[in-house]
Structure 1
Amino acid sequence: MDIASLPFVDEHAEVIAAEAEDIWRHLGEVLDESFSRPGIAGYARLVGSADRTASGPRPLAAGSTLPGFRVVAAVPGRELVLQGTHRFSTYALVFRLEHVGLGRSRLRAESRATFPGLAGGFYRRLVIGTGGHAVGMHRLLSSIRSRSE
């Protein structure tokens, strides 16, 4: 899948008082913890996700999986690219880290997705249109910031 060809959904960012290498470690830990919560694997099965369990190398590297996602690229301290697919959507989540000053870095999370068909459109309204996706991304980035600072 060419991630750049997926339509842009949104981007969220946090400036964190930490170096990118430290944030990188916490990014992987928070993703692993967040996606190992009860019900996440069941949800991945319910919607027919291609990847339904956490597996592969840790820290996260190309080939690692989380429920709903597969790591397709990992450049420690710089970029983590997750992609996934299920019966209602094909999607990607790209985390990018950039140095913004002494002991400060910006963590950006870019979401891209396509929602084919009538069911996909309904799913988009349910996940994106209600603001649920934005709330989830904000919580995820806040958790990474809190752990990193």
Structure 2
Amino acid sequence: MSTDAAPPFVDEHATTAAAPPDRVWAALEQYADRVLAHAAGGTVARLLGTDPPGGFGVAVREPGRRLALDGRHRFSRYRLELVLDDAPTGGTRIRARTLAAFPGVSGQVYRTLVIRSRLHVLAVRRMLARVRAAAERPPEP
């Protein structure tokens, strides 16, 4: 999808981790790797016809700053941009920006099921909380 024009903006969510950017970046990469590996070949991915098979592929990787994941399936094409910034109060701000297109009637039904039902919001907030918690965990000796 990285060669296509970016899909329309859907929403943005953010959290602040009490950790330096390098620890947040490491936690973010570990989370993305784990999710992509787990989703590949899963039932939902097969039903939706995700491309790539894990649902997302890395489109942009700017270490310590930005990770953009692209994907598509029968009902949507999408991008999840994860951006790290210095938080004004200290720590690292993690922003998750979603862009997606939902073509046709089937796409609009899917949008209603996932976006308007707030399932997407819950999933993104859970992802941000997990990345934050992993970054804030003391490093193992």
TM-score w.r.t. length of structure 2: 0.87
| Aligned-pair CA distance for 1:41 | 2.3
1:139 aligns with one of 106, 114, 126? 126
Whether the 8 Å contact between 2:36 and 2:56 is mirrored in structure 1 is no
Quick one: percent identity of the two aligned structures? 38
**Change beyond 3 A, Cα 1:102–1:26:** same
Q: Over residues 21-43 of structure 1, what are the superposed CA-to-partner deviations in whole Å (9 max), with x where a residue is unaligned?
A: 11111011122333444797221
Residue in structure 1 matched with residue 28 of structure 2 by the alignment:
27
TM-score w.r.t. length of structure 1: 0.83
Paired with 1:15 and 1:29, the residues of 2 have a C-alpha distance of 18
Whether the 8 Å contact between 1:44 and 1:51 is mirrored in structure 2 is no
| Aligned-pair CA distance for 1:45 | 1.4
Residue in structure 2 matched with residue 43 of structure 1 by the alignment:
44
2:95 aligns with one of 108, 119, 129? 108
| Aligned-pair CA distance for 1:118 | 0.3
Q: Over residues 2-39 of structure 1, what are the superposed CA-to-partner deviations in whole Å (9 max), with x where a residue is unaligned?
A: 22xx1111101001111111111101112233344479
Whether the 8 Å contact between 2:40 and 2:55 is mirrored in structure 1 is no
**Change beyond 3 A, Cα 1:69–1:38:** closer
Paired with 2:46 and 2:34, the residues of 1 have a C-alpha distance of 18
Structure 1 alignment gaps of length 5 or more: 53-66
1:85 maps onto 2:72 in alignment: yes
1:128 maps onto 2:115 in alignment: yes
For 1:32-71, what aligned pairs fall within 5 Å after superposition?
Answer: 32-37=33-38, 41-52=42-53, 67-71=54-58
**Change beyond 3 A, Cα 1:40–1:95:** farther
1:2 maps onto 2:5 in alignment: yes
Structure 2 alignment gaps of length 5 or more: 137-141
Paired with 1:91 and 1:81, the residues of 2 have a C-alpha distance of 10
Q: Quote the RMSD (CA, aligned, Å).
A: 1.7
Paired with 1:122 and 1:102, the residues of 2 have a C-alpha distance of 41
